[in-house]
A = this chain, B = another copy of it.
Amino acid sequence: MTSWQEVRAEVRRRILSREWAPGEPIPNEADLARELGCARGTVNRALRSLAEAGLIDRRRKAGTRVALHPVRKATLSIPVVRLEIEERGFIPGYRLISRAREAPPAAVRALMGDGPLLHIVSLHLADGAPFMAEDRWVDERAVPGIGTADLKAVSANEWLVLNVPFSHGEIAFTAAPAGCFEAQTLDCAHGTALFVVERTTSADGRTLTTVRQTFAPGYRIETTL
């Protein structure tokens, strides 16, 4: 019993077997280290891992307790769309639909201010079939270079990932019916239930870009718990 993975496994076993019941405190790090025959640092590493997984709650002085409601955490990797398409075994494609300097609608203006924004609409393909339609607004002042980027060759999605480091972002997942635009670009019936991802990224407190990605029917995100 020397590795932190072994310590974690043993503690997890005691929790799952109800030897240590939900809500109950477990021994402190020093005691556990003595019992299991390892350094306190090793126990700390193991317990930190379990705390991140949501299986235990830790607080200084109060000690460590088995979580009352073990919170499952699902981690989603959000790669560049092109890579996601390749990972699913398709040949990726891309088409720029429009690109214009426009006054944004109210919802976008609330996020990104009144300045003129670049509005980029594009379509990503998998094996030639529509995969995802992207409607994006970019703050030209916050993202120098986007004005001259060749968005016919490289998608805005990819250009931004490669050229604009960001510090913070928000992402949301919803379902929405296909509107006229989606029905046409994604080749589906008006009103079809589609999976939607909305993302906003910012740096230094400024919103760089906000995007709404609508996926073709049947799209699903999968991961393990």
List chain A positions with a Cβ less than 8 A from chain B.
15-18, 22, 54, 69-80, 83, 161-162, 165, 167-177, 191-196, 199, 201, 218-225
Contact = CB atoms under 8 A, between A and B. Distances in A.
Given A172-B221, A201-B225, A177 B192 contact: yes
**Of A71, A191, A192, A225, most B-chain CB atoms within 10 Å:** A225
A171 B220 contact: no
Oligomeric state, in number of copies?
2
A205 to B, nearest CB: 15
Main secondary structure of the interface of A (DSSP, over half): strand
A167 B55 CA distance: 12
A199 to B, nearest CB: 8
Nearest to A199: B225
Nearest to A165: B16
B223 A171 contact: yes
A225 B193 contact: no
